[in-house]
Amino acid sequence: MTGAILAGFAVMATGNLLTAAAPWLLAAFAGQALRGLAIPLADSHVTTYLQRTTPPVMLGRVMANVYGGVGVAAAVGYLLGARCWTPPPRAQRS
């Protein structure tokens, strides 16, 4: 089970790296398609692993913390990305 989880994370990371290194838009689409194919693999295995290893009385709290953490990490990523992005200079009108 953990091997499948790690494989899913590795394929998702590879898709992200290919997207970042893509010289053309089509290559970036291909990288994101690869990542998209790996998301169900990793997500379903993580959910199943948590359901099998967590005591039933704690399952709701554990799932809320895991997926809440994912949401917080996404928000932080957006904020950092916006902070690091510099808009292109505006064209001069004559």
Q: Report pLDDT digits (tens) over 13-27.
A: 999 999 999 999 999
- Asked if the model's pLDDT at residue 94 lies above 70, the reply is no
- Amino acid occupying residue 36: G
Between CA 3 and CA 9 the distance in angstroms is 10
Q: Is the pTM of this model over 0.75?
A: no
Residues in the chain: 94
Between CA 66 and CA 1 the distance in angstroms is 18
Q: How confident is the model at residue 12 (pLDDT cuts 50, 70, 90)?
A: very high
- Tens-place pLDDT, residues 34-87: 999 999 988 999 999 999 999 999 999 999 999 999 999 999 988 988 877 777
